[in-house]
């Protein structure tokens, strides 16, 4: 019974954490789904799963879901700590909005195992920086105009909307 209580608390804490992480990114569930699919190369995360994790109604956490969340985090970590993740189209912009989560040792991105531990209540999720998005947007408006000049109008509008420009 103590493990069930810990799991319930862990699930609720993970829901609050995951919801905050997504809110801070300013991306929609659809955007997260697209990011995860591109980061993994296969569709593994669906909007319904994202919603269930955000609200705490998801009682089971599958390996595929954890793998997708960890892949998005790894791509964000790679981008913000010196490497360019292999993401296409709008996902190259979407990933700029995602705050990379660092493990408790402070030297690596949170892995799939870390996310499982957060969900089970075995570890506390890392603290989120509420000012992160405004402090770490690496692309300037003038760079965007040049970088996306060749995009079709709809994609260009979507790109600017993603970055709040």
Q: What is the pTM of this model?
A: 0.80
Q: How many CA atoms lie within 13 A of 55 on its CB side?
A: 9
- 65 vs 90: CA distance, rounded Å: 22
**Which pLDDT belongs to residue 147?**
60
Walk along the chain (165 residues) and give the pLDDT tens digit of each residue. Answer: 566 787 788 889 999 999 999 988 878 888 899 999 999 888 888 888 888 888 888 877 788 899 999 999 999 999 888 788 888 877 887 888 889 999 988 889 999 999 999 998 899 999 998 877 666 655 445 555 566 666 666 776 777 676 665
Q: Look-up: residue for tokens 């793998």?
A: 67
């Amino acid at each position: 019974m103590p493990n069930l209580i810990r799991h319930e608390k862990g699930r609720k804490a993970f829901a609050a954490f995951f919801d905050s992480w997504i809110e801070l990114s300013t991306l929609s569930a659809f955007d997260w789904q697209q990011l995860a699919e591109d980061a993994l190369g296969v569709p593994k995360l669906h909007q319904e799963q994202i919603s269930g994790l955000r609200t705490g109604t998801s009682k089971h956490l599958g390996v595929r879901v954890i793998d997708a969340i960890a892949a998005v985090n790894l791509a964000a970590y790679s981008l913000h700590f010196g490497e360019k993740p292999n993401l296409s189209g709008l996902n190259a912009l979407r990933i700029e909005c995602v705050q990379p989560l660092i493990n408790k040792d402070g030297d690596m991105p949170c892995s799939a195992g870390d996310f499982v531990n957060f969900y089970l209540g075995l570890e506390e999720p890392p603290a989120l920086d509420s000012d992160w998005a405004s402090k770490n947007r690496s692309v300037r408006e003038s760079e965007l105009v040049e970088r996306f000049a060749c995009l079709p109008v709809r994609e260009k509008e979507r790109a600017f909307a993603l970055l709040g420009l």
